[in-house]
Amino acid sequence: MDPPFFRCRREHQTTALGRRSQLGLAHRLGCRVYRAVERLVARRRGRAGKPSPPACPVSARFREPCPGAPGPRGQAGLSGLVDGRERRGAHEAAESSPQFAASLARVKGRKPATPAYWIRAKRVLARRDTVLAGIIRDHPRIALEPRGEPFFTLARSIVGQQISVKAAASIWARVVALAPRMLPEQLIDAGPARLVGCGLSRRKAEYLGGLARHFAGGSLHVAAWAEMDDEAVIAELVQVRGIGRWTAEMFLIFCLLRPNVLPLDDLGLQRAICRNYFRGKSVSLRTMRKIAEGWDPWRSVATWYLWRSLDPIPVEY
């Protein structure tokens, strides 16, 4: 009795057995088998007298990667590990910035990474300040997130100056539709008239155009900001028309992720201090600065949580 199924199976096994000398055991791309193990498996199969099924899988412990062999799906082999540590070039160091992380997370649809200092800062502030401890406890699952590239963040801040959050979001959506990649060259090409058509005032349209020209012309030391101290960055930014100290401080907090910025000119911070520390009674900026001395060196974190006491939903600047 020789049903067609068994006859086809024997023919298939015979063909596979004939290919063994060509395939060997290292049939998986990018792997080879230790020769001693290969000889042992071959002897056992020879004694058993049974042909092996085609391309049987090899245990991972008997495989070793071939140097320079392509990885899965034709990708290049991993060559970035030296003595267990990742080898990084200059371009990779640039890509580790908070701005790159934020833009990459937006593209992939993932939540941007929280600053590395955030958890430690929360613990220190909660131990020092009972008011902040309560606010932090009431907002356990949210944290500061990076806001993207410098030009994007500064342009967004200019649009949001002196108008409501809802109005700023509506106008910003039209500006992004006009310049989808939000590059300085795109805003320069758009011109003031089309920016005004997005709902911006003529003055703000001029501010955005001036900011774009500063970035395109290289007059701002963007690459050096990461190494400059807070006041030096502020001093450079306020030279741009339309950027004041408040906008520069928002940039330090949300884009450069500086941990110790105290934006006392911010009306929201002033209102939060009065409400949480003085039961709504107005106090001087000097008194507020005295309260904030206990937050050093995490005043950005304290400011962010005081904002949350007024509005639980973080606002993009």
As annotated, the active-site residues are: 266
Quote the crossing angle between the two packed helices 299-310 and 245-254, to the nearest 10°.
100
Instruction: State the DSSP code for 31.
Output: E
Contact 306, 261 (CB under 8 A): no
Instruction: State the DSSP code for 259.
Output: S
Distance, CA of 212 to CA of 206 (rounded, Å):
10
Strand pairing partners for 82? Answer: 85
Instruction: State the DSSP code for 25.
Output: S
Per the document, the length of the chain is: 317
Q: Where on the phi/psi map is residue 218: left (φ > 0), alpha (ψ -120 to 50), or beta?
A: left
- Phi and psi dihedrals of 235, rounded to 5? -60, -35
Strand pairing partners for 63? Answer: 33
Start-to-end Cα distance in the chain: 81
Of 22, 25, 60, 53, nearest in space to 39 by CA: 25
Instruction: State the DSSP code for 120.
Output: H
Contact 122, 283 (CB under 8 A): no
Distance, CA of 316 to CA of 152 (rounded, Å):
11
